[in-house]
Chain A
Amino acid sequence: MRYEANTLDKPKPSGFDFRRFVLTADATPNDRLQAYVEIEFERLAEIEVERGVDRSDEGVAFAEDLEGGNGGEISMEQMWGQFKFGDPFSVRLGQILVPLGRFNINHDDDKWDIPRRSLVDRNVPVLPVRSAWTELGVGVTGSKSVGKSGQLSYQGYVVNGAILDFAIEKVVEAEEGQSILKLASEVGLTRGPVNGEEGVRAGTWRVGYSPTLTTDFGFSGYIGRYTPDFLEVDERLTSLGIDGLWKRGAFALEGEYIHTHLGDTDRVVNAFIDTVTGSTGIPPLAGAQGTEAEFAITDLTPSRRGFWLEGRYRFWRERWKDTFLGKGFDDPHLSAVVRYERVKLHNAIQEVAIENGEIERGDAETLRQERTTFALAYRPIQTVVFSVATEFNRRLEGPVLVFPRGFPERRYATILAGLAFGF
C-alpha cells in the first residue's frame, strides 16, 4: 500500500493506493519437481459482472453491467513447473519472469525499501514491458560453483514474446447538446499472448556470476519480433541489460542498466496507418451519428535506455531495543536508502491517431529525466517494511516529463509512504 503527494501543477489526488496483493503458492512434490504460482491483484477491490434479459410487451433488452475500481487488474504473474535433471541444469516451463536486468526477477515489494519501483523497470519503462514482466515459454536454468567461493548461474528461455497488442476503450461523452459513444482502439506493447496464436517469437537469457557472497553481477538480453501478423511488417525488439550488487558490512550498492531498441518504428507506424486505411491512404470517416471511432498506436520509441543505482545502509542501535521499534522483535533494523536513476527516450512518439478522416501524428521528441529518491525504511522483521521517501524529479531534455508522461514541469517533488509485507 502507498500514499503519495506531489508538487505537480495538476497532481492526481493524494490518497491511499492499494498497489497490489500477491498470492503465491509453491510445491515440491519431489526433490526434482517444483511448481510455483503467483497471482496478483493490483488496485483491485471488486469486480462485479451482471448480465440479464428483460422481456416486455415492447420487446426485449439484453443488458450487461461491469462494475469495478479504476485501474484494477488480476494477473497471472508467474506459473511454472520445473524438472531438475541435475544440480546445474533444470528445465522450467510456463509463465516465467523475463530475466532481463535484476529487478524483474526480484520484483517482490517486500524485498525493496523504496515504496515505488524504478523509472527503468516500471514507470517509463525502459524494460520493453513494465515489471513484473512475464512471458509464456520454456527454457533452462541452473547454477554451478566455480572455484572456492564463486557461483555461476544461468537461465535462458524461448517465449511467445512481447507484442503490439490492442485494447478497446469505450467512452460515453456529452458534447454540444448530444451524447457521443466513442470507441478507441489503442495499440501498444504488452506481454505476449498466452493462447499461442502469434507463435514463439522471442528468446531471453541471463548469465550471472558471483565471485564471492558480497559481489554479484549479470548480463542479460531479450530479442524477438514484436510486430503482430496483422501489421504485415517485421520489426525486432532487442534489449540488453547489465546489473550488479556489491555489499560491504551493512552497506549495499545495487544497480541496473537497460538499453532497448525497437528497430524502425517509422515502418511500424506506416504499417499501422496502412492497415487502418486499407492501403488506400484515406482514413476512415466518422461512424454513425452519435458515435466516434479512433485508432491509435502509442508509445513507440526507436530506442530507450536508462539506469538506476541504489545505495542502502542498514543500521540499528541497541538502546532502541526496548522502544516501540524494537520490543518483541529478534532483529529489527532501519535502512537509509538513496536511489539515483536516469532514463532517455530517443525520438519518442507518444501517439499516432486516426480519427474522423484525419491522421494525427505527434512530433518525435527525445525525452530525458532524472530522479533522486531518499528513503528511510523500518523492518521489524525481514518480510515487513514500513517506508517513507522523497523523490526529486528533473526534466533534462524534451518539452514534457517522461513520468508522469506529458507534464510540462521542469522539476517536481513527491512524498511517498508505503507498507509492504510478505507472509
Chain B
Amino acid sequence: METIEIGKYTKSFGLSFAITSLISALLVILKETNEETVLAWMKAVTPHHWITHGIINIILFVALGWALSMPNSGQGLKISANALIGSIVASTLISNLLIAGFYI
C-alpha cells in the first residue's frame, strides 16, 4: 500500500527553505540599494556583511522550520507534497533570477 504522508519537519523545513530563500534574495537587493543604512548595519554586526547575511539566513531557516512544525496542535502544516515541491522549486528559481537579474 502506498504511503502518501510526509513528515511534519519535512514539510516545515521545506516551506522554511522556500520562504528564507526568497527573503535572502530580497535582502541582497535591499542591502545593495541601501548601502548607508542596511549594508552599513550588516557590516557593523559582524566583520563582513556576507557573514551577517549568512547568519540571518541560518537563524531564519531554523526558526521558521521549527515554528512551522507547531500548527495544528503540533501535527504540523497541512500541505500536499506537490504544493511543497512547487514552493521549493518556485522559490529556488525566483531567488536565483532575482539575484542574477539584480547584478546584470
Our verdict on whether A and B bind, yes or no, reads: no
Residues of A within 8 A of B (CB): none
Residues of B within 8 A of A (CB): none
